[in-house]
A and B are shown apart, each in its own frame.
Chain A
Amino acid sequence: EVQLVESGGGLVQPGRSLKLSCVASGFTFNNYWMTWIRQAPGKGLEWVASITNTGGSTYYPDSVKGRFTISRDNAKSTLYLQMNSLRSEDTATYYCTRDQRTTAPFAYWGQGTLVTVSS
Chain B
Amino acid sequence: DVVMTQTPVSLPVSLGGQASISCRSSQSLVHSNGNTYLHWYLQKPGQSPQLLIYRVSNRFSGVPDRFSGSGSGTDFTLKISRVEPEDLGDYYCLQSTHFPNTFGAGTKLELK
Binding site for B on A (CB under 8 A): 44-47, 50, 59-62, 95, 101-112
Scoring B residues 74 to 112 as 1 if CB is less than 8 Å from chain A, else 0, what string do you get?
000000000000000010101010011111111000000
Given known contacts A44-B105, A45-B103, A59-B99, A95 and B94 CB-to-CB distance under 8 angstroms: no
Q: Is there an interface contact between B103 and A47, defined as CB atoms closer than 8 Å? A: yes
Complex Cα distance A61/B49, Å? 20
Interface footprint category on B:
20 to 34
Contacts of B43 in A (CB 8 A): 45
Complex Cα distance A102/B39, Å? 12
Total number of residue pairs linking A and B with CB closer than 8 Å: 58
Complex Cα distance A46/B100, Å? 10
Partner of A107, one of B60, B90, B92, B102: B60
Provide a sorted-by-A list of 18 A–B residue pairs whose CB atoms are within 8 angstroms: A44-B103, A44-B104, A44-B106, A45-B41, A45-B92, A45-B94, A47-B101, A50-B101, A59-B100, A61-B1, A62-B100, A104-B54, A105-B39, A107-B51, A107-B54, A108-B51, A110-B48, A111-B48
* Interface hits, B4-55 → A, CB 8 Å: 35, 37, 39, 41, 43, 48-51, 54-55
Q: Is there an interface contact between B100 and A61, defined as CB atoms closer than 8 Å? A: yes
Complex Cα distance A101/B101, Å? 11
Q: Is there an interface contact between A105 and B106, defined as CB atoms closer than 8 Å? A: no
Contacts of A46 in B (CB 8 A): 103
**Whose C-beta in chain B lies nearest to the C-beta of A110?**
B48
Contacts of B104 in A (CB 8 A): 44
Q: How far is the CB of A12 from chain B (nearest CB, A)?
A: 22
Given known contacts A44-B92, A44-B106, A104 and B100 CB-to-CB distance under 8 angstroms: no
Complex Cα distance A62/B35, Å? 25
Complex Cα distance A108/B1, Å? 25
**Whose C-beta in chain A lies nearest to the C-beta of B92?**
A45
Q: How far is the CB of B69 from chain A (nearest CB, A)?
A: 12
Given known contacts A44-B106, A45-B103, A101 and B48 CB-to-CB distance under 8 angstroms: no
Q: Is there an interface contact between A105 and B60, defined as CB atoms closer than 8 Å? A: no
Q: How far is the CB of B105 from chain A (nearest CB, A)?
A: 5
Contacts of B51 in A (CB 8 A): 104, 106-108
Contacts of B102 in A (CB 8 A): 47
